[in-house]
A = this chain, B = another copy of it.
Amino acid sequence: MSQTVDRALSILPLLAEGPASLEQVATRLDVHKSTALRLLRTLHDHGLVYRQQDQRYRLGARLFALAQQAVEALDIRGIAHPHLAALNERTGHTVHLAVYEQGEVVYIDKVESRYPVRMYSRIGRPVAITVAAVAKLLLADLPEPERRAVAEGLDYPRYTPRSTPDAAAFLAELARVRDQGWACDLGGHEESINCVGAPLHGPDGRVCAAMSVSAPNVVVTAEELLRLRPLILRTAEAIGAELSGVAGPSSRAAAPAAASPSVTKGATR
């Protein structure tokens, strides 16, 4: 491991706590001022560190730009797909992946239980937003005012007697979903079809997608389907971990002791 780079990178979490002077940095790194200066200069040249008027250092804009760019470059579908396929393999049921976009919830991937070749059949189509498990999960994570605004702007078609009847009922359901961290649709869209779904958390901790497992009553009862919940949640967490880029099976020694786990909300079970 490169000592120089190691030291330089150790500066970042240090500055994340708040602005620090050259000497403070040097002291906490246990190196001489001149060394710290050169490291900080290099970080500065790359925009990762910014120098205030009072000459103290802070984290810089490039850091945010990088994080943002990385999120945008994230290929949710590509990363999730193997997991979804594995889940389909184990359960045999149809697996969906969906995202929220501009007031709509759309499927972006689907693994069909019996016809793997035709699994893109309905991708891109909007979901039955008032009843689908994935829709509930995605809407439940929106900020409160937006959530209410969307809910109140929707139609509530009575697909079945179990469909969500109105905005009030929908908002109550969203609150429940938000609390429990998973969602289901038991015959709310088509009488004989049930789904169980879980949220996918992105690097920033917010729900960036949702997945669900669907099966008709004739294959498994709702009860049996709900029994898959732990498995589904575990899959969702695994995908989330991969999206966020949490260290996998690599445990190298000699890392600075302060390497604490992510500070993102939610997924910390």
Q: Residues on A close to B: CB < 8 A?
A: 1-2, 4-6, 8-10, 12-13, 15-18, 38-39, 41-53, 58-71, 73, 79, 82, 103, 142-143, 145-146, 148-150, 153, 203-204, 242, 244-250, 252, 254-256, 259, 262-264, 268
Asked if A264 and B65 make an inter-chain contact with CB atoms under 8 angstroms apart, the answer reads yes
- State the number of copies, please: 2
Q: Chain B's nearest CB lies how many Å from the CB of A135? A: 15
List the 4 closest A-B pairs by CB distance, nearest first. Answer: A50-B245, A47-B247, A60-B245, A145-B149
Which residues of chain B are within 8 angstroms of A71 by Cβ–Cβ distance?
64
Nearest residue (CB) in B for A67 is B67
* A263 in contact with B65 given A38-B2, A52-B242, A246-B50 (CB within 8 Å): yes
Asked if B1 and A2 make an inter-chain contact with CB atoms under 8 angstroms apart, the answer reads no
Partner of A1, one of B42, B68, B148: B42
Which residues of chain B are within 8 angstroms of A73 by Cβ–Cβ distance?
16-18
Asked if A41 and B245 make an inter-chain contact with CB atoms under 8 angstroms apart, the answer reads no
Which residues of chain B are within 8 angstroms of A53 by Cβ–Cβ distance?
82, 242
Bound Cα distance from A66 to B255, whole angstroms: 17
Which residues of chain B are within 8 angstroms of A50 by Cβ–Cβ distance?
244-248
